[in-house]
């Protein structure tokens, strides 16, 4: 009897043909190329170019895994047919209808030998949730990187910081002439109010995250079945997040304290979600490996006397087995699952500046004290500069927002808001993230890409905040495709929606009122992304970059003016 080819299997030889087929948009929406050269909707997903091929292969891998499970069901019937049917007519019938093999298997016509192949495939398994690999990389705006790569634009980098230095000096002189002191520290004192209470709450929030370790252990020791684990995850994450948010509302901190606590809360939520989902997938693979081996042994037994029989199925099973074993082993020292489920491994994960969990991460060889000191001093220095700009150029305008017209308010805030945005970006992604990376020997320092060269808002969204983008790509976008069978466009809409909701949540908890301005502006990026995909626009990169910067200049002060008017006109 010949080997049946299951149409659900996507072999490596077929990948290129599938990806280049125009009908791939309809028959294989997950596999549609994302470079915009084929199909109408192929380029909509906000994926970084570097992660593009990884993401396509990831989804293909998901289809292959699904095909493997269908192949095993087909194989059950194939073994049964060969055992009980000797006529050529039945052979031809089975060969012409591979789907009938699956229906026969489901009807229970199974020999004792093929029972080793029959088993339930865990419906909550997310094989497509893997992402691009971590590797040793440096931050693009790190001055050491600029010097090492002899970047021709490093002089402008120096010019920016020299300009900020002169701004600080001139502001200090004006304040001294007006008030007799060089710096107005009222905002700094306001931001430090109830600091001990905030630090205690933040520490307790971090400690509560460690409860995910026993949750994973419950599934590992089969106290909670793998099939019920996703429900357990959502219950825990929902209870944890609602409790922490309620605590923030109850304490009624100032806007700075509330904003910082909420942002950290969301980051901890993402870390917990990734830890739970990644390790539960590893548990599923661990439980699946013995069944895979049983299938392989059965196929090899069936091959006695005819090495060509079931060869394709055997190769696919061996490939899946090798992939599972590779996924369960770290890429650095070879630490394998479940030896990573320890308290110290979780401490390390919590300190590493990433929001997605891996058994192991690439590490640097040594700790550089002077580099770490540079990042710490940079954090405090830039924060002081931020306070100065807000005190002198933003707060006075916002306090007058109810007295001056709306357009004038926005015009006065354009440049100060843009400078503050750049400084905040540098504090978080170049100073704080690199400082924690140096402390933990974390080698992958690509916390951002060249977002300043973006020609569309989806390119900006995936480049300016790589940790969040990586989380959304792995646990929202790919998860929704593999588990809930969403199309690529619907998965993209869901990803934008989730991101917008969390951004608006920060503003709601900071201002103690719900006004969906940020949510609406973020969702408005979706039609702008479509517009940027128009061929005429796509060819004009400079125009796209200019439009991007126009939006960046107008957006933040527009939001600031709208939220400030609500705050000062309706306290």
Active site residues: 503
H-type helices in 427-540, by residue range? 433-440, 457-463, 466-472, 478-484, 488-511, 517-523, 525-532, 535-538
Dihedral (Cα; 222, 225, 226, 232), 10-degree rounding: -110
Cβ-contact 268, 274 below 8 angstroms: no
How far apart CA 363 and CA 438 sit, in angstroms, is 10
Which residue in the block uniquely carries the two structure tokens 């980098």?
A: 157
- Tokens describing residue 407: 């357009």
Cα maximum dimension of the chain: 104
* Phi, psi for residue 51 in degrees, rounded to 5: -95, 0
- 49-84 and 88-96 helices, crossing angle to 10°: 160
- Tell me the sheet residues that pair with 363: 442
Residue 95 burial (CB count, 10 A): 16
Cβ-contact 272, 355 below 8 angstroms: no
Q: Is the dihedral of CA 327, 331, 337, 338 positive or negative?
A: negative
3-state DSSP percent of the chain in helix, strand and coil, to 5: 70, 0, 25
Which residue in the block uniquely carries the two structure tokens 């050269």?
A: 37
Q: What is the 3-state secondary structure (H, E, C) of 434-456?
A: HHHHHHHCECECCCCCCHHHCCC
- Tokens describing residue 36: 């915009």
Cβ-contact 59, 488 below 8 angstroms: no
Q: What's the angle, vertex CA 257, arms to CA 254 and CA 263, rounded to 5? A: 130
How far apart CA 59 and CA 126 sit, in angstroms, is 10
Cβ-contact 465, 428 below 8 angstroms: no
Residues 6+ apart with CB under 8 A from 240: 208, 209, 211, 269, 272
- Tell me the sheet residues that pair with 137: 444
How far apart CA 319 and CA 168 sit, in angstroms, is 61
Distances (CA, A) of 243 to 511, 544, 547: 19, 43, 41
Contacts 24+ apart (CB under 8 A), 195-200: 197/251, 197/253, 198/253, 198/257, 198/260, 198/261
- Tell me the sheet residues that pair with 329: 336
How far apart CA 331 and CA 132 sit, in angstroms, is 13
């Amino acid at each position: 009897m010949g080997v049946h080819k299951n149409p659900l299997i996507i072999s490596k030889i077929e990948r290129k043909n599938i990806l280049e087929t125009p009908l791939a948009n309809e028959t294989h929406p997950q596999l549609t190329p994302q470079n915009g050269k084929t199909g109408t909707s192929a380029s909509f997903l906000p994926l970084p170019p570097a992660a593009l091929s990884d993401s396509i292969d990831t989804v293909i891998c998901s289809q292959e895994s699904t095909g493997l499970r269908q192949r095993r069901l087909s194989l059950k019937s194939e073994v049964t047919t060969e055992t009980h049917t000797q006529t050529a007519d039945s052979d031809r019938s089975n060969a012409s209808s591979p789907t009938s093999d699956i229906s026969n298997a489901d009807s229970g016509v199974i020999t004792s030998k093929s029972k080793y192949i029959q088993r339930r495939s865990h419906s909550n398994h997310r094989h497509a949730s893997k992402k691009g690999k971590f590797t040793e990389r440096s931050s693009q705006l790190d001055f050491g990187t600029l010097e090492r790569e002899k970047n021709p634009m490093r002089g402008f980098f120096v010019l920016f910081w020299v300009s900020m230095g002169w701004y600080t000096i001139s502001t200090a002189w004006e304040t001294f002439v007006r008030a007799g002191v060089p710096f107005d520290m009222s905002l700094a004192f306001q931001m430090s109010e109830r600091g001990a209470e905030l630090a205690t709450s933040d520490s307790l929030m971090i400690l509560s995250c460690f409860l995910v370790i026993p949750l994973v252990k419950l599934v590992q020791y089969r106290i909670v079945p793998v099939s019920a684990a996703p429900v357990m995850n959502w219950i825990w994450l929902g209870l944890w997040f609602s409790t922490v948010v309620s605590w923030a509302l109850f304490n009624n901190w100032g806007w700075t304290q509330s904003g910082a606590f909420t942002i950290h809360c969301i980051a901890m939520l993402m870390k917990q979600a990734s830890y739970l989902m990644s390790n539960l997938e590893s548990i599923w693979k661990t439980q699946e490996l013995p069944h895979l081996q049983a299938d392989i042994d059965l196929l090899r037994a069936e091959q006695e006397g005819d090495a060509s029989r079931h060869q394709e199925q055997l190769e696919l099973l061996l490939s899946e087995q090798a992939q599972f074993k590779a996924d369960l082993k770290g890429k650095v020292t070879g630490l394998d699952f479940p030896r990573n489920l320890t308290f110290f491994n979780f401490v390390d994960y919590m300190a590493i500046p990433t929001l997605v969990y891996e058994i192991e991460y690439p590490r640097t060889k040594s700790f550089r004290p002077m580099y770490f000191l540079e990042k710490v001093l940079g954090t405090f220095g830039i924060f002081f500069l931020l306070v100065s700009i807000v005190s002198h150029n933003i707060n006075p305008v916002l306090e007058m927002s109810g007295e001056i017209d709306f357009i004038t308010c926005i015009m006065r805030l354009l440049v100060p808001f843009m400078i503050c945005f750049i400084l905040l970006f540098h504090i978080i992604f170049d100073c704080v993230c690199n400082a924690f990376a140096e402390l933990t020997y974390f080698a992958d320092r690509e916390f951002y890409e060249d977002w300043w060269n973006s020609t569309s808002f989806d390119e900006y969204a995936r480049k300016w905040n790589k940790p969040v983008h990586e989380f959304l790509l792995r646990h929202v976008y790919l998860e929704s495709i593999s588990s809930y069978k969403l199309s690529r466009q619907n998965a993209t809409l869901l990803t934008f929606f989730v991101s917008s909701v969390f951004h608006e949540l920060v503003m709601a908890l900071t201002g103690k009122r719900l006004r969906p301005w940020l949510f609406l502006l973020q969702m408005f990026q979706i039609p702008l992304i479509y517009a940027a995909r128009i061929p005429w626009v796509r060819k004009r990169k400079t125009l796209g970059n200019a439009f991007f910067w126009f939006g960046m200049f107008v957006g933040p002060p527009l939001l600031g003016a709208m939220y400030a008017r609500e705050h000062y006109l309706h306290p």
